A = this chain, B = another copy of it.
Amino acid sequence: MVAAICFVILCVSGCRAGAQNATDPLPSWNDTPSKRAIIAFVTRVTADGGPDFVPVSERIATFDNDGTLWAEQPVYVQVAFALDRVKVLAPHHPEWKQQQPFKSVLDGDLKAIAAAGEKGLLEIIAATHAGTTTEEFETIVDDWINTARHPKTKRLYTEMVYQPMLEVLAYLRANGFKTFVVSGGGVEFMRPWTERVYGIPPAQVIGSRAKVKYELRRSRPVLLRLPEVDLVDDHAGKPVGIHQQIGRRPIASFGNSDGDFEMLEWTTSGRAPRFGLIVHHTDAKREWAYDRQSHIGTLIRGLDEAPKRGWTVVDMQRDWKVIYPFQR
């Protein structure tokens, strides 16, 4: 009994030998510098009486979603959702048969969709994401996310979350952290499932958002989703979203692309101790390998500046024993 207690105490203060045993908080991580950096940080800020102790109320950690908590290839999940929505809504829009970029979507012409670029994508999202009430949209997302499958793995998208990152979320929460999602993706596309999948409730999800309008429909109040952007929660929009919704600077942030650069910069330029981590997609076999040349999850500046800023760069291939929960 005494031995067991001592063992736990030793491990809480950061034992490395424990990596393979039951008390390892990050069992899906190999024993590399990335894992050690996470544990060392948590150990420092939770060491009561230590020089780097951070009170529980300030233990705030923010996580990007696409490419950081779940897979974002071959297209962002929300894009797959939007393309499916075009097909569902097509009977109400006969004009789409002739009108780009909708025609390409209905024809399944992926090359033409890609050629339509960001502008085409925004048109598709505007046409498929507005005009409903917030509750209707929640139901639409819920129905889709519970049935749609990834084109390559044929798994539900919510199965394609990163097991090692789920362990980081749980480890931080077990150490008094409040965990937030801070994503460029739409906040209403994430909230229906983040609590179930990540243990993160809607109030702790920050994302891009449309304007909404309060109105009465037959004396029943609704919030109507308008075709106007209220916040683009990406790049410099992430610290803004964090400020609006959390109102405190995080002490740890996790991202994977240059869209997360400002979030990590904002987090790690606060008074020490701070922690920044970038998930580097290096595993072409088990996941995907991409960074500087990729249009999805572009990572250039983050890679260049991580060393001098003291950010941890996770080498997915080297650092992670498994990628997805179903591989355990």
Interface on A for B, CB 8 Å cutoff?
A: 57, 60, 134, 178, 187-188, 191, 195, 201-205, 209, 212-214, 220-221, 223, 230, 236-237, 239-240, 243-248, 262, 265-266, 269
Is A240 in contact with B212, judged by CB distance below 8 angstroms?
A: yes
A201 to B240, CA, bound (A): 18
Contact A209 B244 (CB under 8 A): yes
User: How far apart sit A279 and B26, CA to CA, in the bound complex (Å)?
Assistant: 50
The docked-state distance in angstroms from the alpha carbon of A262 to that of B221 is: 9
**Do B220 and A269 touch across chains, with their CB atoms under 8 A apart?**
yes
Q: Are A266 and B205 in contact (CB under 8 A)?
A: no
Q: Other than the known A203-B246, A212-B240, what 14 A-B pairs have Cβ atoms closer than 8 Å?
A: A57-B201, A134-B243, A178-B203, A187-B247, A202-B246, A202-B248, A203-B203, A209-B244, A212-B243, A213-B236, A214-B239, A221-B262, A221-B266, A244-B244
* Contact call B223/A239, Cβ cutoff below 8 A: yes
Known contacts A195-B57, A236-B214: does B243 contact A203 (CB below 8 Å)?
no
CB distance from A219 to the nearest CB of B (A): 9
CB distance from A305 to the nearest CB of B (A): 12
Which of B202, B240, B244, B248 is close to A247, meaning CB atoms less than 8 Å apart?
B202
- Report which of B191, B240, B247 forms a contact with A205, defined as CB distance below 8 A: B247
Partner of A203, one of B187, B195, B221, B248: B248
Q: Which residue of B lies closest to A220 (CB)?
A: B269
Residues of B within 8 A of A195 (CB): 57
When distances are taken between beta carbons in the complex, the residues of chain B under 8 Å from A134 are: 243
Closest 9 interchain pairs by CB?
A202-B247, A214-B236, A203-B246, A214-B239, A191-B247, A202-B248, A221-B266, A223-B243, A221-B269
Contacts of A214 in B (CB 8 A): 236-237, 239-240, 262, 266
Please report the C-alpha to C-alpha distance between residue A188 and residue B203 in the assembled complex, in whole angstroms: 18
CB neighbours (8 Å) of A178 from chain B are 203
Given the complex, which residues of B lie within 8 Å of A269, measured CB to CB? 220-221
Min Cβ gap A210→B in Å is 10
Residues of B within 8 A of A247 (CB): 187-188, 191, 202-203, 205
Q: Which of A187, A220, A237, A245 has the most CB of B within 10 A?
A: A245
Residues of chain B with a CB closer than 8 A to A212's CB: 240, 243-244
Residues of B within 8 A of A223 (CB): 239-240, 243
A191 CB contacts on chain B under 8 angstroms: 247
B-side contacts of A265, CB under 8 Å: 221
Residue of A191, A221, A266 most packed against chain B (CB within 10 A)? A221
* Shortest Cβ distance from residue A80 to the other chain B in the assembled complex, whole angstroms: 22
Give the docked Cα–Cα distance between A266 and B212 (Å).
14
**Nearest CB in chain B to that of A236: its residue:** B214
What is the distance, in angstroms, from A100's C-beta to the closest C-beta of chain B?
33
